[in-house]
Amino acid sequence: EGLEPQVWDPDYGDVLNSHGDISRGRQLIWELFPGAGEELTIYLFHYHQIHPENPGSLLEMYEDFFTILPEYRRCDIEKLVWKKPTFGYIPGHFTVGSRDRIVAFDRLVAIGDAASLQSPLVFTGFGSLVRNLYRLTDLLDTALRHNLLSVKDLNQIRAYQSNIAVTWLFSQGMMVPTGRHLPPQRINAMLNTFFGLLADEPPEVPDTFIKDRFSWLTFNRLALKAARRNPALIPWILEMAGAKDFLLWVGSYLSFTSNALVSGLLKGWFPSLVRRLQPWLEKRSPRLWLQLLAQSYAITAGMGRPEKVNRELKFD
């Protein structure tokens, strides 16, 4: 804490604020979030593939943070109060479908960053954990109460969102390919196109993106609009991602499309039917109940539309 109020209002955040260009082989990005009182959480990060030739020194990143923070937020480093400095790597998994990653073993399930289910664009596991906390808690509670602790049972307990998984191509668009040299302004130009689109939309549209609740229709409408506004965008992404990863993304997009269709057909009645069956079904077949409950969440929370239920969880 310690930023002057005229420099930054602590009630507001700052999302994906790029710094500099990619002349050093990576695009530095700032993010800032309000904390308790006047405290602020500030991140400096970049995306890169795991490869010895890529810039990945945590010490260098730490030095960059303190060197360019005054430029980012016009502050005097000596006047700031540091509560919790930290650094590290956050894993990101480029997901094609909801079942292409095993997150459990017998009696063990990974959640949050350990599961690494989502696109790195959205804070990977931490963001998905927060957004899907009720979903995960409900499924874990069910599995524990009925001793459903096999890998098959626990692997259903995941915070996967199909509408987020499809964004991993955008994450690729913020990574400098290993061993490649691109125009220094390339990633900034792509970010300017994307955020320029959101700035032109009604406030509820960027709000749904920030909260990872955008629909299939919204995603496609904005993607087509971006391609019209900046026709070079698609060739740029193909150049950065490569043909192989682009084809993988097509699979992810088709999965998102099919999930959106299933969700559209079932979300109006299937979750409520599952809840009505609970008193009878859970006692007679706990494993089937867990499967149906997981599917119910998949077509609601898994598409960015949290299921609204009235249920109180009790832990002994």
Give strand pairing partners of 44.
Answer: 30
Average pLDDT over residues 6-20: 87
Q: Which residue has the higher pLDDT, 186 or 16?
A: 186
Residue 28 contacts residue 64 (beta carbons within 8 Å): yes
Distance, in Å, from the CA atom of 57 to the CA atom of 85, rounded to the nearest integer, reads 16
Query: Average pLDDT over the chain, rounded to whole?
Result: 87
pLDDT at residue 260 greater than cutoff 90: yes
pLDDT at residue 239 greater than cutoff 50: yes
pLDDT at residue 131 greater than cutoff 90: no
Distance, in Å, from the CA atom of 37 to the CA atom of 47, rounded to the nearest integer, reads 31
Percent of the chain topping pLDDT 90: 47
SS (HEC) of 159-228: CCCHHHHCCHHHHHCCCCCCCCCCCCCHHHHHHHHHHHHHHHCCCHHHHHHHCCCCCHHHHHHHHHHHHH
Percent of the chain topping pLDDT 70: 93
Pairing of strands 40-45, 104-105: unpaired
Distance, in Å, from the CA atom of 316 to the CA atom of 308, rounded to the nearest integer, reads 24
pLDDT at residue 313 greater than cutoff 80: no
Q: Which of 50-59, 111-120, 284-293 has the lowest mean pLDDT?
A: 111-120
- Residue 197: predicted pLDDT: 92
40 secondary structure, DSSP code: E
- Residue 314: predicted pLDDT: 47
Q: What is the pLDDT of residues 67-108, one digit of tens each?
A: 999 999 988 899 899 998 888 887 777 777 777 788 899 999
- Residue 15: predicted pLDDT: 82
Q: Which of 49-58, 116-125, 225-234, 282-291 has the lowest mean pLDDT?
A: 116-125
Q: What is the pLDDT of residues 154-197, one digit of tens each?
A: 999 988 888 888 887 787 788 888 888 899 999 999 999 999 99
Give strand pairing partners of 281.
Answer: none
Distance, in Å, from the CA atom of 162 to the CA atom of 295, rounded to the nearest integer, reads 13
pLDDT at residue 119 greater than cutoff 60: no
Average pLDDT over residues 201-208: 92
Give strand pairing partners of 18.
Answer: 29
Coil, strand, or helix at residue 73? helix
- Residue 121: predicted pLDDT: 52
50 secondary structure, DSSP code: S
Coil, strand, or helix at residue 165? helix
pLDDT at residue 27 greater than cutoff 70: yes
Q: Which of 42-51, 112-121, 253-262 has the lowest mean pLDDT?
A: 112-121
